Structure 1
Amino acid sequence: MSDIEHLIEKALRPLGATPPPPSRDLFARVLNSVADDRVRRRRTRRVLALWVAAVAAVTLLVTTLTPQSNGELLMPWWILELGTNLVLVGIALWLGPFIKRFGRAYAADVFHDNPLTGKSYIVLTDIVYYLIFTAYICFTVNFAPTSDWQNVGTGLVTPQQLQWEVVRIGGILLIIGVLHGLNIVLMPVLGRLFSLNRRVDRT
């Protein structure tokens, strides 16, 4: 500690009080902080690599556009479908860790009586999150043009298909938002129930 820190500690310490002993788990907490920082940096590099891959994929898709004689651009329907699926996967891989990062403190506050239950709850919600994303992509993916897109004969992107793909992205964001809001509301109730059950078991 520096001289200024010693002076501040001396000024704030009550008269005649001895300095508090050092924390026993200080070294372990420092190691955990270093490990969390490494995990965060590794996750950041992964997200950056995914974004670079997404940009490269979009660039590749754009370069596959073939100009028409009147100067318009044509795109096969499967390119937009593949791009939308890549966007959905990218949102899943980015949004899941983002929610988990800011949800740990909330779960720790809710399950403060039984932190192990809180950690298990976070893991289970992660599994549910990725299952919902996977099921949504499987339910909405198309392997051939549909009649609603009005491009069965041409096989090119139409405004109807573009609207459908935008609805797919908005739909998963709405579903995750609603479920996440319900989770925020229900988590304190579950934490209270677990705390009551634990107190009953102790008695």
Structure 2
Amino acid sequence: MSDLEHLIEEALRPIGSGPPPPSRDLFARVLDSVADDRARRRRARRTVALWVAAVALVATLVLTLTPQSNGDLLMPWWILELATNLVLVAMAVWLGPFIKRFGRAYAADVFHDNPMTGKSYIVLTDIVYYLIFTAYICFTVTFAPTPEWDNDISALVTPQQLQSEVFRIGGILLVIGILHGLNIVLMPVLGRLFSLNRRVTNTHGTAPGPPA
């Protein structure tokens, strides 16, 4: 504790009083904090293990389904298309809870006057998020090679198809990033409007009526 903090504490302390007694539930709160930290670490390890297992499984499936010729892999176009769709689904499943976990505190601070409104707002944004991801996958999925891929004869993966699949992944990241940025900017405005609306409603509700 610095000298300034010590002087402030001495000035505000009542005369004749000793140091404040320790909190009775301090040890229990410390134990709860340690338990929560261990639980977070376990969840983080499980998440990493699941992602490693998923990547290993996808890689194994791709190598198993891809034929070989003289030691070279000849990957059909549909394997890369299927792998890209799996990556998009995995991104949707992972990004949603990730954004929600760090957005709860922000929403609670913005909607501190309307906690239920903040919870409803988070739920609605989750629905919009998954709808956007599902629509993007449905709009960009391919069921047959396109002329731009230049693989009509061989039906194998070409650099043009690989570029197209990378463009799909980058596109959804750009869309989610832009929408998430707009949400961060607009959320305080909405929180302020809801707070003002509630204050006006409470003021009108408690104001005396006109004289008879």
1:96-121 per-residue CA deviation (whole Å, 9 max, x = no partner) reads 11111111111111111111111111
Partner of 1:159: 159
Aligned equivalents of 2:141 and 2:51: distance in 1?
21
* Distance change in 2, residues 1:44/1:105 (3 Å): farther
Asked whether the equivalents of residues 77 and 145 of structure 1 are also in contact (C-alpha less than 8 Å), the reply is: yes
Larger Rg: 2
- Taking structure 1 as the reference length, the TM-score comes to 0.79
Partner of 1:15: 13
Partner of 2:5: none
Aligned equivalents of 2:197 and 2:114: distance in 1?
11
Aligned equivalents of 2:110 and 2:119: distance in 1?
11
Following superposition of structure 1 onto structure 2, how do residues 56-95 of structure 1 map, counting pairs within 5 Å?
A: 56-69=57-70, 71-95=71-95
Asked whether the equivalents of residues 74 and 156 of structure 1 are also in contact (C-alpha less than 8 Å), the reply is: yes
Task: Letter of the 2:188 partner, please give it.
Answer: P
Structure 1: tracts of 5 or more residues without a match: 1-10
Aligned equivalents of 1:161 and 1:135: distance in 2?
21
Structure 2: tracts of 5 or more residues without a match: 1-7, 204-212
1:121-143 per-residue CA deviation (whole Å, 9 max, x = no partner) reads 11111111111111101111111
Partner of 1:114: 114
Following superposition of structure 1 onto structure 2, how do residues 87-106 of structure 1 map, counting pairs within 5 Å?
A: 87-106=87-106
- Taking structure 2 as the reference length, the TM-score comes to 0.76
Partner of 1:53: 54
Aligned length: 191
Shift of 1:15: 2.8
**Partner of 1:112: helix, strand, or coil?**
coil
Task: Letter of the 1:170 partner, please give it.
Answer: G
* Distance change in 2, residues 1:106/1:40 (3 Å): farther
Shift of 1:63: 3.2
Task: Letter of the 1:111 partner, please give it.
Answer: F
Aligned equivalents of 1:167 and 1:128: distance in 2?
22
Partner of 1:171: 171
